[in-house]
Amino acid sequence: KKKNAADPNQPKRPATAFFVFLEEYRKTFKDKHPNIKGVAAVGKAGGDAWKRLTEEEKKPYHDKAAQKKADYEKTLTEYKKKQ
């Protein structure tokens, strides 16, 4: 089976709350550990830090992700109208 070619103009799916957190966490992690370059090490440390957060601490990231999802839904409907 052949896959249909993806439209390069289609909007990208929004980041989840964890990935919104990871964007910020990467910066602080690289400042604290400049010698660690591996993506897997940063991701593992970020996952561990995410698990330690309480629901109250995660709330800002969930809110940002919800806002990104709402923006995505809006742009997706505009994109589909143009099709």
Nearest to 63 by CA among 15, 26, 27, 28: 15
Copy the structure tokens of residue 75.
Answer: 């742009």
Domain assignment of residue 41, given as a range: 17-82
Report yes or no on 7 lying in a domain: no
SS3 call for 69: helix
Report yes or no on 21 lying in a domain: yes
Its pTM stands at: 0.82
Read off the pLDDT of residues 44-71 as tens digits, 9 standing for 90 and up. Answer: 999 999 999 999 999 999 999 999 999 9
Read off the pLDDT of residues 19-44 as tens digits, 9 standing for 90 and up. Answer: 999 999 999 999 999 898 889 999 99
Report yes or no on 29 lying in a domain: yes
Q: Which residues contact 11 (CB under 8 A, 6 or more apart)?
A: 72, 75, 76, 79
Distance CA 75, CA 35 (A): 40
pLDDT level of residue 1 (50, 70, 90 thresholds):
low
